[in-house]
C-alpha cells in the first residue's frame, strides 16, 4: 500500500506549524514562562509565539530581562505576574528580546 508523499515535513516534537513572511509552513513554538516544580507545581503561562528559528534567542531574551529587572529574591513566576504575561517577551521578536539588531547594512 502506498501513501501520498507529504509536501512539508511534520513539525518537530513540541512545535506547532506556523507561516513565515512568504507563507511557507515552518516550525513555531508557544513560549511559556513562570512555571515551577516542587511542592506546589505551576505550569508556565503563555507569553507569546515565535518561529522555530527564533526560539533560542527569545528564550535568552526572556531570561536576560528577568535577570536584569527582577526584584531581590523574586522567582520567575512572581516576575511574570508582576510585569504581566503580555509584556514578558519584548515586542519586536527575538532580536528585541536579546537586544540584538539586524546585522544587515
Residue 70 lies in a domain: yes
Residue 6 lies in a domain: no
Tell me whether residue 68 is exposed, middle or buried, using C-beta atoms within 10 angstroms of its C-beta: 0 to 12, 13 to 18, 19 or more: exposed
CB under 8 A, 24+ apart: contacts of 17-24: 18/49, 18/51, 18/52, 20/51
Residue 49 lies in a domain: yes
The range of the structural domain enclosing residue 63 comes to: 16-85
Q: Structural domain tally of the chain? A: 1
Encode pLDDT of 42-80 as tens digits: 889 999 888 888 899 999 999 999 999 999 999 999 999
The pTM of the full predicted model, rounded to 2 decimals, is: 0.64
Amino acid at each position: 500500500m502506498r501513501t501520498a508523499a507529504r509536501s512539508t515535513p511534520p513539525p518537530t516534537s513540541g512545535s506547532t506549524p506556523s507561516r513565515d513572511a512568504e507563507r511557507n509552513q515552518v516550525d513555531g513554538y508557544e513560549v511559556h514562562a513562570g512555571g515551577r516544580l516542587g511542592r506546589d507545581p505551576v505550569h508556565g503561562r503563555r507569553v507569546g509565539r515565535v518561529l522555530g528559528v527564533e526560539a533560542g534567542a527569545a528564550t535568552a531574551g526572556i531570561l536576560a530581562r528577568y535577570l536584569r529587572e527582577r526584584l531581590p529574591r523574586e522567582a520567575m513566576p512572581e516576575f511574570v505576574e508582576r510585569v504581566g504575561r503580555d509584556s514578558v517577551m519584548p515586542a519586536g521578536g527575538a532580536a528585541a528580546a536579546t537586544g540584538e539588531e539586524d546585522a544587515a547594512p
